[in-house]
């Protein structure tokens, strides 16, 4: 009994709330929920910028929120953000290459700020043609990866995410769900893959940072045992 009494206070010591969760399944669910709401928030803000500049056009009957966004956009972006944010640290563990480059929240916040800036540039900055804008955003997106990620897995996942997201968007526009003004890459803008690439890198960084708490919990449990 004496040993149980001495161990119980030690188990109550914990840092942030997510670090105190010992079950990996519950920890995974919490990270997924956090990533989902981050994705919803970013979708509302960034989609608002695109609509204000008439980059994307939705039919009047589907505009049904205070941010003038189609109701299905935030949940879809939130779900995609959760999947991406959970996938990045999973791939890191599978490859045996834990990502340790700039692993602090200040770096993650700067990455988010740069991503918002890239999206803002796509809606606000005027170029002579879309090719110049696309090349500029491509350079900025690769610069974001180099500044905040620099991992081969991150770059590969970013390319894959950009390809799949662009393909899905092409299908949505083709079926008349919404449309882009002045499309120059089939049914969408040529710079759209750059936005998806930067978004994948950003959500991956957030997911990796959240996953660090789970690693700390496992290390603490192993130390106690």
**Is 2 part of a structural domain of the chain?**
no
How many H helices and E strands in the chain?
Answer: 7, 2
This prediction's pTM? 0.77
Instruction: Report the domain count for the chain.
Output: 1
Instruction: For residue range 70-106, list pLDDT tens digits in order.
Output: 678 889 999 999 999 999 988 988 887 766 766 788 8
Instruction: For residue range 183-197, list pLDDT tens digits in order.
Output: 777 888 888 899 999
Q: How far is CA 62 from CA 14, 38, 71, 179, in A?
A: 46, 23, 7, 13
**Is 163 part of a structural domain of the chain?**
yes
Q: What confidence score (pLDDT) does residue 212 get?
A: 80
- Residue with more model confidence, 15 or 120: 120
The answer to whether 162 and 196 are in contact (CB under 8 A) is yes
State in Å, rounded, how far the first CA of the chain is from the last one.
17
The whole domain housing 159 covers: 23-53+61-224
Write out the DSSP string of 23-49: -HHHHHHHHHHHHHHHHHHHHHHHHHH
Q: Is the pLDDT of residue 57 over 60?
A: no
**Is 12 part of a structural domain of the chain?**
no
The answer to whether 55 and 119 are in contact (CB under 8 A) is no
**Is 14 part of a structural domain of the chain?**
no
The answer to which of 44-48, 69-73, 121-125, 164-168 has the lowest mean pLDDT is 69-73
**Is 16 part of a structural domain of the chain?**
no
Q: Which of 135, 115, 139, 90 is nearest to 201 (CA)?
A: 115
The answer to whether 206 and 112 are in contact (CB under 8 A) is yes
**Is 78 part of a structural domain of the chain?**
yes
The mean per-residue pLDDT over the stretch 112-132 comes to: 82
Q: What confidence score (pLDDT) does residue 4 get?
A: 46
**Is 7 part of a structural domain of the chain?**
no
Burial class (CB in 10 A: 0-12, 13-18, 19+), 140: middle
Contacts of 206 (CB under 8 A, 6+ apart): 35, 38, 85, 108, 112
Instruction: For residue range 127-186, list pLDDT tens digits in order.
Output: 777 788 889 999 999 999 999 998 888 999 999 999 999 999 899 888 877 777 777 778
Cα–Cα dist 37/78, whole Å = 6
Q: What confidence score (pLDDT) does residue 223 get?
A: 57
**Cα three-residue angle 24-25-27, rounded to 5 degrees:** 60
**Is 192 part of a structural domain of the chain?**
yes
Q: Is the dihedral of CA 89, 91, 93, 95 positive or negative?
A: negative
């Amino acid at each position: 009994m004496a040993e149980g009494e001495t161990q119980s206070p030690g188990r109550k010591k914990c840092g942030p709330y997510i670090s105190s969760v010992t079950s990996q399944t519950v920890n995974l669910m919490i990270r997924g929920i956090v990533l989902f709401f981050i994705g919803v928030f970013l979708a509302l803000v960034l989609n608002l910028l695109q609509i204000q500049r008439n980059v994307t056009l939705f039919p009047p009957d589907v505009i049904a929120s205070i941010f003038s966004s189609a109701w299905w956009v935030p949940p879809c972006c939130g779900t995609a953000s959760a999947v991406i944010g959970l996938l990045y640290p999973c791939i890191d563990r599978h490859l045996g290459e834990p990502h340790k480059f700039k692993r602090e929240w200040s770096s993650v916040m700067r990455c988010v700020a740069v991503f918002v800036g890239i999206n803002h540039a796509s809606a606000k900055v005027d170029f002579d043609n879309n090719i110049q804008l696309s090349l500029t955003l491509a350079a900025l997106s690769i610069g974001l990866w180099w500044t905040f990620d620099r991992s081969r897995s991150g770059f590969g996942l970013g390319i894959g995410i950009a390809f799949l997201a662009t393909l899905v968007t092409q299908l949505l526009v083709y079926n008349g769900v919404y449309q882009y003004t002045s499309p120059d890459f089939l049914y969408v803008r040529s710079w759209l893959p750059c936005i998806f690439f930067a978004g994948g890198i950003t959500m991956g960084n957030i997911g990796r940072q959240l996953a660090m708490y789970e690693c700390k919990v496992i290390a603490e449990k192993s130390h106690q045992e």
